[in-house]
Structure 1
Amino acid sequence: MSSLTVIEEPVKFHMSLNVPDLVRAVEFYTLLFGLKPAKHHADYAKFELEDPPVIFSLAPHPPGPGASLSHIGLRVGSDETIQHYRKRLEAAGVCTQAQDGTVCGYAKQNKLWVTDPFGNFWEIYRVEEDVLPEMVRKSFEGKVARADAESGAKTRPEAVWEHFVTNGLPERIPHKGNSLDEVRLVGTFNAELTDAQRAALLKEVARVLKPGGKILTHGLMGDKPFPGAPPKLPGLAAMVAYVPAQTEPINVLRRAGFVGAQVVKFTEKAWFVADGVELREVKFVAWKPASPKNASETKQVLYKGPFARATADGGHVFERGKRVSVPVAVWEQLRLGPIAEQFLFFEPNTGAGCSSTRPT
């Protein structure tokens, strides 16, 4: 499914507010501005005013130390204009941070972040194209979302609970045990939590997930442990209070009993470099083990390579070119994971292997 191309006006002032209640905020600003939002999703809303020429967006996050202001920006018409701003600022000794091809506000953007002397975050950005909500989900989950995002097929609604970096930790996730298909931890590993708090949260996640349910984590990770106090980062990254090393979340998930942990996104270029640590956007997916009853059900896979053999959690060994039987839960994890192209997947009572992608 393709994204929607848009044509942007050359320059507009942009301002974004953090609000604790997005529904009430949209109702108020619809009344104030006398027009409906240009975009309105469960986690984002945007108004585009012509007079004055302002882009006003709302993010459903509790206001932080800087009160309600999230960030301020200028939307420009070209990457050359962004570079003009960057050269002028850096020539004066002001540090900037660039982001290219990032998805923000349901649009693909190139942007430049800078912080004023008082801690207010500014972005100078150009929008390349709008991005559909289902493609934002695909971006979040990587190829794990391929089955529904690319096929366009209607799937049953999934029961999902999400925790955001600025949200407080609940003593108990407000769902029954074994009731959720998916839990999303968005920036949670960047929150200032003790090891005990993090372990307690993951214990709750394991309680509410169905057997075989999925946990997704998303945040900024360092290429090595971060020394001293956390960095002061621009824009939404200002919410980062802790920077884990990039291997830490997988180890924490494994200790909590989750299996099949996979990296679904790891940006090649660091978003930020602070105190000699490269900070990248990293996304992981892992699963709650299947119930013992379902663990006896198996399906066959064939590992195509390129390695002579590969080993998965649980001791499952895949030798190149050899069909092996694995639990259905492992079969599904491989089929929907980022290495699916390296396997053939066999349905019971058939001799034909199926690829994870649709024929073109």
Structure 2
Amino acid sequence: MNRFHVHLNVADLPASLRFYTELFAAEPSVLKPDYAKWMLEDPRINFAISATGRTPGIDHLGLQVDSAEELAALGPRLDAAGGSVVPEGAAVCCYARSDKLWTEDPQGTRWESFHTFGDATSYHGAGAACASDGASCTPDPAAMKPAPAQAAGASCCAPRSGCC
């Protein structure tokens, strides 16, 4: 089952923690010095905040799936939507290990589709495709280019090319 994901950049983590803990009537499921995440069931959302130096506001939106197969099934949908699809395998981001598919909507909002398969001890791994402004783990917009053509059955490619 999919879970909607929202990642916000915040300027004041303690104030934001207080606000969202009260709003959701729940403590964060993950709490780090620069990051917090609530895995809520009602509404079914993965809501994350980070204080890592980026302009406050929405960093990215996404869909979290429960399996690698569900992630693979999102590839053709992202392709049909018309954005460039950028795969990121075994990414370390937000204190987790995930396989990801990135795209941008027509307004330039970044979308992360991902399957998390483990925890990590750092916010992001060495060599991560993180934005050059040093904050969240979304790829730098300049790097948002489609992957080269893949063999049949591989995921992600140029928009509407039918390879996904």
3-state SS, counterpart of residue 114 of structure 1: strand
Q: Which of the residues 125, 145, 165 maps onto 2:114?
A: 125
Pair 1:53 & 2:44 matched: yes
Distance apart, 1:63 and its partner CA: 4.9
Cα distance between partner residues in 2 of 1:138 and 1:90: 27
Distance apart, 1:80 and its partner CA: 2.2
Cα distance between partner residues in 2 of 1:20 and 1:101: 29
User: What residue is the counterpart of 2:139 in the other structure?
Assistant: 237
User: What residue is the counterpart of 1:103 in the other structure?
Assistant: 92
Matched letter for residue 32 of structure 2: H
**Structure 2-normalised TM-score?**
0.74
Go from structure 1 to structure 2 and tell me whether the alpha carbon gap of 1:36 and 1:239 turns closer, same or farther (over 3 Å shift).
Answer: farther
Q: Is the 8 A contact 1:16 1:69 kept in 2?
A: yes
User: What residue is the counterpart of 2:61 in the other structure?
Assistant: 72
Pair 1:20 & 2:45 matched: no
Distance apart, 1:124 and its partner CA: 0.9
User: What residue is the counterpart of 2:153 in the other structure?
Assistant: none
Q: Is the 8 A contact 1:63 1:69 kept in 2?
A: no
* CA deviation map 1:280-336 (0-9, x unaligned): xxxxxxxxxxxxxxxxxxxxxxxxxxxxxxxxxxxxxxxxxxxxxxxxxxxxxxxxx
Distance apart, 1:237 and its partner CA: 2.7
Go from structure 1 to structure 2 and tell me whether the alpha carbon gap of 1:16 and 1:115 turns closer, same or farther (over 3 Å shift).
Answer: same
Distance apart, 1:57 and its partner CA: 0.2
User: What residue is the counterpart of 2:101 in the other structure?
Assistant: 112
Which structure has the higher relative contact order (CA within 8 Å, separation 6+)?
A: 2
Go from structure 1 to structure 2 and tell me whether the alpha carbon gap of 1:43 and 1:137 turns closer, same or farther (over 3 Å shift).
Answer: closer
Gaps of 5+ in 1: 1-9, 142-185, 192-218, 220-234, 241-270, 277-360
Structure number with larger C-alpha Rg: 1
Q: Which of the residues 81, 87, 94 maps onto 2:70?
A: 81
- C-alpha RMSD of matched pairs (Å): 3.1
Cα distance between partner residues in 1 of 2:72 and 2:8: 26
Distance apart, 1:18 and its partner CA: 0.4
User: What residue is the counterpart of 2:161 in the other structure?
Assistant: none
Q: Which of the residues 11, 14, 38 maps onto 2:2?
A: 11
- Kindly tell me the number of residue pairs found equivalent between the two proteins: 144
Structure 1 residues 259-278: aligned runs within 5 Å: 273=145
Distance apart, 1:86 and its partner CA: 1.4
Go from structure 1 to structure 2 and tell me whether the alpha carbon gap of 1:71 and 1:272 turns closer, same or farther (over 3 Å shift).
Answer: closer
Q: Is the 8 A contact 1:82 1:125 kept in 2?
A: yes
Matched-pair identity in %: 33
